Structure 1
Amino acid sequence: MAHGDPGHPPTDPFGRRDGGGLGDGRALAEAEAPDPASPGQVVETTVSPFHCLYQDALWLHTQARLRLPRSESEAGRLCRASLLLYLQAAEALVHQAAVEIGRPELAHLIADPSRPMPLRDAWALLPAVAAEEPPAALDPDGPPWPQFLELLALRDGWTYPGLPSERRAYYAPSADGSSFEPLDPRAVPPGLCPSPDRLRSPRTGLPRDPYALRPHHLDTARGVLDQAIAALDRRLDGALTRDARHRKEPCRILPPRPLA
């Protein structure tokens, strides 16, 4: 389940579109499109932070791919920002769903910002919060759950860095000898201590070194996230994405107020 097209960056959310829409997933309840030249006209929209952040992550993802031939360091910066936004979008998705489809007496368990719940726990708990009957059990060993947890662990490793000994990265000369590149786990010289799992996550292959993140790693991360959303949706019997609820941003034109 993909939630955007990496080849087409998001449009201006209030850009004109054929058929009276507002662009970027927003749709007017009325057939008439808003006219900025009309005095006093106001457009009201209900924002989906998931949609907003996911599209931002996707745009950065695309830009990283375009920048890579020119500068790996620039591409890496965009990749790091994109990955964090993908995961922030996932948090917004779960918190929004808890409020919109969860039972009112239980939604606060996930959606209370004063008592934040780790995303892995909120993701696992959401079906129980939303369902009247006990949902199907989560298989902790079945994909994409272990891969999704690796994404979260990677982010946690950046925000909870640990001791210096836990933050070591390794680089080796490139094939042409013009620069240094992140050390390939398959090419660790004899006698060097780090195990392959210290260099990359074992299931996704994502590098633990944030400077080593590249667009093809983002392709993997986005694929895992989309699969995790699809798996969560199945546990919710389709309620998570039914009628594109999770990314709809409905709009309406408010009538001009009469002058006092």
Structure 2
Amino acid sequence: MPHGDPFGSIPGPGHGHGLGRGLVEAPGPDPSIAGQLIETTVSPFHCLYQDALWLHTQSHLRLPRSESEASRLARSALLLYVQAAEALVHQAAVELGRPELAHLIGDPNRPLPLREAWALLPAIAAEEPPPALDADAPPWPQFAELLALRDSWTYPGPPSSRRAYYVSGGDGASFEPIDPRDLPPGVSPPAEFLRFPRTGLPRDPYALRPHHLDTARGVLDQAIAALDRRLDGALTRDGRHRKEPCRVVTPRPRPRADSDSDSDSDSVS
């Protein structure tokens, strides 16, 4: 799988996607019988990640036709990737954390920043203190940049922190984000002002392109895999994080035997 994808059966852009929800844990509903009442437990992580993958692929497909459309889809996908990460860690806190500590991450009334929740999860899930997190070792600095990018869109800051630079096209209607190395003399903001140094993700949301989204997804997948290792594999064991089990909660109709049909015919006649 690309980027060390920990999900196994979830392909990346260009490889097709799983269609719909993964209904697991037999016995499941019989699709040939109508009218069954089916109960399922949804995984928001699985749902949002699948949606992000679809938008990710569409972004690549739209790029030859329109960079602006591709960028719009890429922005939507990036937000869903990060929201999927939030769902993953909050669900894991409730399912894997010690009951007396799960609320530290899983309480929506006292939300923790995602980066802090990510670091805290192994401590509330383990009986013994986990090894200290090396925040300077990959993928954590890259993951921090991904989260900082999302935060910069939701907490924009003053105008001076939101400047972007473009080069106009010859047709007078097109504009392309400039490479920081191509800025002319006299216009010299630090390169980090326009792009994050480790991932190269642009701070300007309009400048986001499908290849940036490839990077973002790779960072997220690596962060999930690293978090899973800190949890000794409990995060993704047996597909726990994306399972959506279902069961029939009303009895299935009893199949009618041929003799029943004959009896009905006799009574009508």
Same fold per superposition (TM over 0.5): yes
Question: Does structure 1 retain, via aligned residues, the 8 Å contact 2:29–2:247?
Answer: no
Partner residue in 2 for 1:208: 203
Task: Render the CA deviation track for 1:53-100: whole Å, top value 9, x for unaligned.
Answer: 000000000011111111111111111110000000000000000000
Aligned counterparts, 1:1-260, within 5 A = 1-2=4-5, 3=7, 4-5=10-11, 6=13, 7-11=15-19, 13=20, 24-30=21-27, 33-35=30-32, 37-39=33-35, 41-173=36-168, 179-256=174-251
Aligned to 2:261: none
Deviates more, 1:75-84 or 1:184-193: 184-193
Equivalent residues of 1:34, 1:253 under 8 A apart = no
Name stretches of at least 5 consecutive residues in structure 1 with no aligned partner.
14-23
Q: Which has the higher helix share?
A: 2
Cα RMSD (Å):
1.9
* % identity of equivalent residues: 74
Larger radius of gyration: 2
State the AA in 2 paired with 1:34: P
Amino acid at match of 1:166: S
Query: In structure 2, the residue corresponding to 1:252 is in which secondary structure?
Result: strand
Q: Which runs of 5+ in 2 are unaligned?
A: 254-269
Give 1:182 deviation, angstroms: 0.3
**Shift of the alpha carbon at 1:178?**
7.3
Deviations 1:217-247 (A, max 9, x none): 0000000000000000010011101111001
Shift of 1:186: 1.6
Conserved in 2, the CA contact under 8 Å of 1:10 and 1:59?
no
Q: State the aligned residue count.
A: 245
Question: Letter of the aligned partner of 1:169 in structure 2?
Answer: A
Q: Take 2:65 and 2:240, find their aligned partners in 1: how far apart are those partners? A: 39
Distance 2:52 2:223 in 1: 17
Contact 1:172–1:183 (8 Å) recurs in 2: yes
Counterparts of 1:133 and 1:142 in 2: how far apart (Å)? 23
- Following superposition, the deviation at residue 29 of structure 1 comes to 1.5
- Give the CA deviation at 1:173: 3.6
Following TM superposition, the consecutive aligned residue runs of length 4 or more in structure 1 with deviations greater than 4 angstroms are 174-178
How far the C-alpha of 1:28 sits from its partner, in A, is 4.6
Aligned-partner residue type, residue 105 of structure 2:
I
TM-score by length of 2: 0.86
